[in-house]
Structure 1
Amino acid sequence: MTAPKPLELWLVRHARPLAPEGLCYGRLDLPADAAHTQARAEALARAWQASPADDGPAMAWHSPSARAHALARAAAACGLPHATADARLQEMDFGHWEGQPWDGIARNALDAWAQDFFHHCPGQGESVARLLTRVADALRDGLSQAHACGARRVLWFTHAGVIRAVEVCLRQPGLQPPTSMAARDWPSTVCDFGHWIVHRME
């Protein structure tokens, strides 16, 4: 009996946003640089077409944010599958911190988050615990749908925080979110704007 082929999970970060350096933005709906979006869509299409899984069906989703949706549209125009919006792929919500320079946020407010990294809601927005729960739900749903229809690739157009959350969930049994986490355990690096990470799911 032939073993099932592995499924590829492509996590694509949106292109460079039109925002000043040092700005706090998560749910803030910033547009992305159009030229960079197009260039990264073309690069993604080349990598996608060169993948060993190119001969099989694929499923795609995007964050509803303008910067992620723009890359999804540009990629579809380059031959990638059309993506469906999923609100669970949005970036973390920083509440009233959104749109403020990071160095303008009160030190005691940042310290409060660091002291309770998992449950604290920065800017009265969204906690890391809530981010992980919704991303884990989307991940399990997407992989389940892909397996059900025989897809060999799942493609997400999303954000740095969501990609980090996926990295955390992939280390957990059953893709369940952890029940606690310290700031030091949060992934410290992520792919650059318009780049991607591919995981092979056996």
Structure 2
Amino acid sequence: MSALWLVRHPRALVAPGVCYGRLDVAADPEHQRQVRDQLAEQLPWGAALHHSPRQRCAKLAQALREVRPDLQSASPAGGDPDLAEMDFGSWEGQTWDALGEAALSAWTAQFADHAPGGGETVNQVMQRVERALQRTRVQTPEGQAAVWITHAGVIRAVQLLRQGVRHVERATQWPTQGPACGEWQCCEGP
């Protein structure tokens, strides 16, 4: 693999401040077209295209392949579940404000092992993203680029894994910077 492109899905059609990690919400169609057109100009020829199962990612992948048939579909039918956003359990669909300070503080106090809303811990996310990275490295021939159309949490996990961090202990370790909806970053080499 020559490079890994990490693309965050287009803006989701969801009210501001709503926790929507695993919710299968659609992307704004106009923003999706803009992102597709920009990516179509930037992505290297013949890249292996992987995507999350969520429609906001899957539909962008489909739209890209329609305008760039050279992109090779590399995800299983329906998308790669390891590229899905963190599962926030019962928090999904609620506003972050409605969750309350006590719930958010409990999560940050036990960041490594607390599953917010009964969903998934940060370290479970790290494990599955590491699994996806290893699989992508093995399946992508030398010299070919790979593209992940995914979510902010997955991209932040990749940032840590590329720094050698495989297990997160504290909330302060979690990256605060990442691409906005519809933006991407390219990591050179495996």
TM-score of the superposed pair, with normalisation by structure 2:
0.92
1:14 counterpart = 2:9: yes
Partner of 1:3: none
Q: Give the alignment partner of residue 150 of structure 1, picking from 138, 142, 149.
A: 142
1:117 counterpart = 2:111: yes
Q: Measure the CA separation in 2 of the matches of 1:191 and 1:180.
A: 20
Q: Measure the CA separation in 2 of the matches of 1:27 and 1:180.
A: 21
Give the letter for the 1:33 counterpart.
Answer: D
1:28 counterpart = 2:20: no
Partner of 1:61: 50
Contact 2:2/2:142 (CA < 8 Å) preserved in 1?
A: no
Give the letter for the 2:109 counterpart.
Answer: Q
Could you list the per-position Cα deviations for residues 83-135 of structure 1 after superposition, in whole angstroms to 9, with x for gaps in the alignment?
Answer: 32211000000000000010000221111101011110000100001000000
Q: Give the alignment partner of residue 73 of structure 1, picking from 51, 59, 62.
A: 62
User: What SS does structure 2 have at the residue aligned with 1:100?
Assistant: coil
Contact 2:168/2:174 (CA < 8 Å) preserved in 1?
A: no
TM-score of the superposed pair, with normalisation by structure 1:
0.87
Count of aligned pairs: 185
Give the letter for the 2:152 counterpart.
Answer: A
Q: Measure the CA separation in 2 of the matches of 1:171 and 1:183.
A: 16
Kindly tell me: are residues 110 and 41 of structure 1, through their superposed partners in 2, closer, same or farther at Cα, counting changes over 3 Å?
A: same
1:47 counterpart = 2:35: no
Contact 1:13/1:195 (CA < 8 Å) preserved in 2?
A: yes
Q: Measure the CA separation in 2 of the matches of 1:11 and 1:180.
A: 21
1:164 counterpart = 2:156: yes
Q: Measure the CA separation in 2 of the matches of 1:179 and 1:160.
A: 18
Contact 1:73/1:82 (CA < 8 Å) preserved in 2?
A: no
Gaps of 5+ in 2: none
Q: Give the alignment partner of residue 89 of structure 2, picking from 95, 99, 105.
A: 95
User: What SS does structure 2 have at the residue aligned with 1:155?
Assistant: strand
Partner of 2:126: 132
User: What SS does structure 2 have at the residue aligned with 1:9?
Assistant: strand
Q: Measure the CA separation in 1 of the matches of 2:147 and 2:31.
A: 19
Kindly tell me: are residues 27 and 63 of structure 1, through their superposed partners in 2, closer, same or farther at Cα, counting changes over 3 Å?
A: same
Give the letter for the 1:26 counterpart.
Answer: G
Q: Measure the CA separation in 1 of the matches of 2:168 and 2:10.
A: 31
Partner of 1:179: 167
User: What SS does structure 2 have at the residue aligned with 1:198?
Assistant: strand
